[in-house]
Structure 1
Amino acid sequence: MERLKLNQYFDYSLEPRRAILFQDVKSNYASIECVQRNLNPLTTSLCVMSRADHSKGLTLASSPTFKKVFGMKNVSRASDLPFLIETRKFNYPQWYRTHTDIHGQRTEPTLQYVAFIESWAKRTWIVPPQMQLYVDYKIEVTDILTNYTSIDEIHSYSIDESFLDITESLNFFYPEIKNRYEQMNRIALDLQREIRDKLGLYVTVGMGDNPLLAKLAMDNYAKHNDNMRALIRYEDVPNKLWTIPKMTDFWGIGKRTEKRLNKLGITSIKELANADPLLLKQNLGTIGLQHFFHANGIDESNVREKYIPKTTSFSNSQILPRDYHKQREIELVIKEMAENLAIRLRKGGKLASNLSLYAGAASTSEYSSIKVSRNIEATQNTKELQDLAISLFRKKYLGGAIRQIGISGNQLSDSSVKQLSLFESVQENQTNKKQESLQKAIDEIRETFDFLSIQKASSLSEGSRVIYRNKLIGGHAASQDKEEKDVS
């Protein structure tokens, strides 16, 4: 490879040059719902809306046409729509919330605009999520990806995105083509066609010399091209990385990081790539150096080496289906969530040395939300965590309705190195061992059969959330029979 240097720090001829693809199923959830109804995912107006527990509605995904026509993002509330779901009539209150003149006065929508919105609203599908269906499609997509490289060379980035290292596949598929980038492009095209023909889904593909360049190619270029493919090589860094208009469009840079960089006089990716790396490290730490390397297109990560996060806490939270006014109902949910935390700790082989509890006040409550944390003796015992959580709640709760509850086990340690207590009697030690044996037996039964195969009588009480939440996947309905049917 010819010697390539874009600045004083990097000699790209020394960097690994792999053939990496980053594939993304276009509008995944919405596209799958279109395919299920024999509709075109690119031309149909459809959104996937969760209305679990009779909430006001949360849009989880929407088709390209839906986004274009209504100017909506993937995640939004039903109240943000320019039309009313029930009647498909124009949503005047929403219009007046967002449309004013330079003096802050309300503006009237034109009759043509109202007619346009209502016409499209009548043709729009609004469907509930089917999380199990999306998981099944993910498995099928991955199965297709293994036709182009080994499973070890595939890294699932999310339910609809994956990295593929096809370096060893280039000459196998297209030995007659001498240009590696043309080989990559042909394989990417084959992959797109196979997924479309077999599953009806459209796939966007970014191509690059490393995973970072492939991801940036997909995010910033492929999704805007008619063929839904784009390539970034090391040679393209000045023209394709440094020219990205918004810093927040670059992988790993959010609004907070952008503000910190702006304070250092860095307002573009090009300026970041040519900044003083020592200055970045002094002000942003190691992450500052990472941004510097990335801005220069440097990424030495390997698709084969799967990232395993270092778990520092186990947490869970839920928004309740209604305002909970009764203390016994609130405490029932806290106990259920503490039990869930204990199960996760045992499954992960961890002990928690700190317990945090959050109880979010309802909008109608006159009292403030509760947020409390307490260091505890390391444990994964269900009863101990439940008692601690209830104790923390009772000390802070003054009354009023609660709408959200969260619990977190922090400062984790391995359960194999539990410290013995000098103050624990022989009888207490024996009792704890019996509880641990019982809890592990229950865990094993639930793991083998189903979580709901063993339940306490309290799960049938008013306000309990155990049965409902254990029928969800990712917090949403697994299939349509768990939530309301289409409202289209």
Structure 2
Amino acid sequence: MNKKIRQKMAKDYLTSHKYIAAKKYLKSLNLYEEEEDRLYLGIDVSAFYLSCEAIDHGENPLQTLGIVLSGTLIMSTSKFAKLKYGFSNVMRIRPEDVPKDVIVYPARMGFYALRSLQVYDWFCRRIPPKYIHVYSRDEMIIDITTVWKGRSESPAAFAMKLQEDIRKDLGFYMSAGIGPNFFLAKVAMDIEAKKHLYDKRHLFAQWTYDDVFDKLWNTELIEVWNIGASSVRTLNELGYYSLADIALGDPELLRKKMGMRGLQIYMRAWGLDHTRVEQRGEYQPKSVSIGHGMTLPRAFTLTDNIINEFKGLSDACALDLLKINKQAACISIYVGYEKNSYENNTHENSRGFIAQTKIVPTNRLDELHEAVEYLFNKKYNYLTAPPIRRLGVHVSKLQEDRGSQTSLFEDPEISRKRQEMYKAYFDTTQIYGKGAVYLGYALSAGSQYLHRTTLIGGHPK
């Protein structure tokens, strides 16, 4: 079912007498009187990467006409560039096709990371860190219940004062949303506050539980935080086209079709979320893994030394293991083929494959190299498999580093010297960065290793 039909069905229902009567009745029940009385504040820097560049170049982030470009990918766009030319984040455009009046800022990921830390530090000087949940590089959810208590100003005035102060101190314009729980603060910011950027109102919104019926239920499913396109399709198949449908629907059906995820969506359709920010670090997963992946700049074929790229990724895993003093007892690789090559391909694993094996607990580079090479050669069909575009290496089943196990096939002295070499390699990268020292394979023809040391998240530092 296409989007227009979906929207019409949802709108017809939300304006029907049945829905209006149900909403009026539900409001009269005081359904939320037993919910804990707390205050959460959602904070988001408007067009973060673009704002960093504009401020650094003496421009006003809300008045400049500019974009942040990494290769052909738009990573951030100003309000005016979006309105005038329809630019949007993750849109692709060649640098030569950018209109002459648009300022193009090359992406600088290291600089943005530094500015993100400055924002976090700014908030930590005003609010205890245990009440701050860093959701992303440019977004936080803060429990202001304790901090706000005893103040004469309203929660809205408190939030707006923070917005004004950070603009004066760091230059950033921030959207802010307040709600009685983590979820409602987040959606108040996403659904209402951010949209004020285009209507000249203050970038602020405060929602209460009454707004669940008046605002949340009127929101398109795809616009609601943490409900992606796949979940929307599943919900539509069950006959749910709005959060009102879900709230007034059958939670047991959602649980059967979507598991705990379905029940979580049902709770959020009622605006309920019992997450506490200060408890965010208490969950300890049963299994921890470390992984690195990459998208190759072009499709790699038989003439390219793909093993060297796997070695580079396994080196990154090894350095992470050494950093936390762990060894891995399991390793896996992922291979993704070039899209054009698998669309009409009948190969058994036409999109790619995953391979995994148990290993003797280790964090040694040479042993991880051997493992990934073994997995790749075992699974990859050199004669029929398509060209490769994406790679990944993961290590799991982590345990404390107990040193190298003695092998009958290796001289103990050689093993000791190798361990010393790896430690020196690790210590040097920690002090001077990953590009300061590298193994010989990094200099092989076509190797992407040295290029990757200049990137953060796949974009220039």
TM-score normalised over the length of structure 2? 0.81
**Would you say the 8 A contact 1:20–1:211 is kept in 2?**
yes
1:359–1:369 contact (8 Å) kept in structure 2? yes
CA contact (8 A) 1:332 1:463 kept: no
Letter in 2 for 1:398: Y
Q: Are 1:373 and 2:355 an aligned pair? A: yes
3-state SS, counterpart of residue 371 of structure 1: strand
**1:66 is matched with which residue: 71, 76, 81?**
81
Task: Give the 5 Å matches for 1:260-275.
Answer: 260-275=234-249
Q: 1:163 aligns with which of 141, 159, 166?
A: 141
Partner of 1:111: none
Q: Note if contact 1:333-1:463 (Cα within 8 Å) is conserved in structure 2.
A: no
Q: 2:131 aligns with which of 153, 156, 168?
A: 153
Query: 1:288-437 to 2 correspondence within 5 Å?
Result: 288-307=262-281, 310=285, 312-324=288-300, 327=303, 329-348=305-324, 349-358=326-335, 360-361=337-338, 370-380=352-362, 381-395=364-378, 396-398=380-382, 402=387, 404-409=389-394, 412-416=396-400, 426-428=408-410, 430=412, 434=416, 435-436=418-419
Q: Which has the higher contact order (CA 8 A, sep 6+)?
A: 1
Secondary structure of the residue aligned to 1:289 is: helix
1:251 aligns with 2:225: yes
**Shift in Å at residue 151 of structure 1?**
1.9
For 1:220-259, list aligned pairs within 5 A.
220-225=191-196, 226-244=201-219, 246-259=220-233
Q: What do the CA deviations read for 1:58-89 (whole angstroms, capped 9, x no partner)?
A: 1111111111222232011115xxxxx3265x
Deviation of the 1:26 alpha carbon: 0.5
% identical equivalent positions: 28
Separation in structure 1 between the aligned mates of residue 118 and residue 160 of structure 2, nearest angstrom: 18
Offset, 1:294: 1.1
Query: What letter corresponds to residue 133 of structure 2 in structure 1?
Result: H
In the TM superposition, residue 430 of structure 1 has moved relative to its aligned partner by 4.7
Q: 2:444 aligns with which of 461, 468, 479?
A: 461
Aligned twin of 2:176 = 205
Unaligned runs of 5+ in 1: 52-56, 80-84, 89-120, 178-182, 479-488
Between 60-69 and 311-320, report the one with greater CA deviation. Answer: 311-320
8 Å CA contact retained: 2:313, 2:393: no
User: What is the rounded CA distance, in whole Å, between the counterparts of 1:397 and 1:9 in structure 2?
Assistant: 65
Partner of 2:453: 470
The structure-2 alpha-carbon separation of the partners of 1:126 and 1:449, relative to structure 1 and needing over 3 Å to count, comes to closer
Moved more, 157-166 or 381-390: 381-390
Q: RMSD of the TM alignment (CA)? A: 3.3
Q: Which is worse superposed, 210-219 or 348-357?
A: 348-357
SS at 2:218's partner residue? coil
- Judging changes above 3 Å, is the alpha-carbon distance between structure 1 residues 250 and 369 closer, same or farther for their aligned structure 2 residues? closer
Alpha-carbon distance between aligned partners in 2 of 1:32 and 1:325, rounded to the nearest angstrom:
40
Matches within 5 A, 1:444-459: 444-459=427-442
- Cα distance in 2, alignment partners of residues 24 and 361 from structure 1: 36
TM-score by length of 1: 0.77
Please tell me whether residue 19 in structure 1 is matched to residue 3 in structure 2.
Answer: no
- Partner residue, 1:124: 102
Deviation by residue 1:215-250 (Cα, 9 ceiling, x = unmatched): 000011111231010011123221121121x11111
- 3-state SS in 2 of match to 1:77: coil
Does residue 168 of structure 2 align to residue 190 of structure 1? no
What is the aligned counterpart of 2:118 among 140, 143, 146? 140
1:44 to 38, 57, 64: 64
The whole-number CA distance in structure 2 between the counterparts of 1:357 and 1:425 is 29
Question: Which whole-Å CA distance do the structure 2 matches of 1:362 and 1:13 have between them?
Answer: 53
More off after superposition, 26-35 vs 394-403: 394-403
- Separation in 2, partners of 1:291, 1:62: 31
Aligned residue pairs, count: 422
Structure 2: which 5+ residue stretches go unaligned?
1-24
Measured in 1, the distance between the counterparts of 2:308 and 2:334 equals: 14
Matches within 5 A, 1:29-108: 29-51=49-71, 57-78=72-93, 85-86=95-96
SS in 1 for 2:273: coil
Shift of 1:350: 4.5
Change (3 A) 1:361 1:152: same
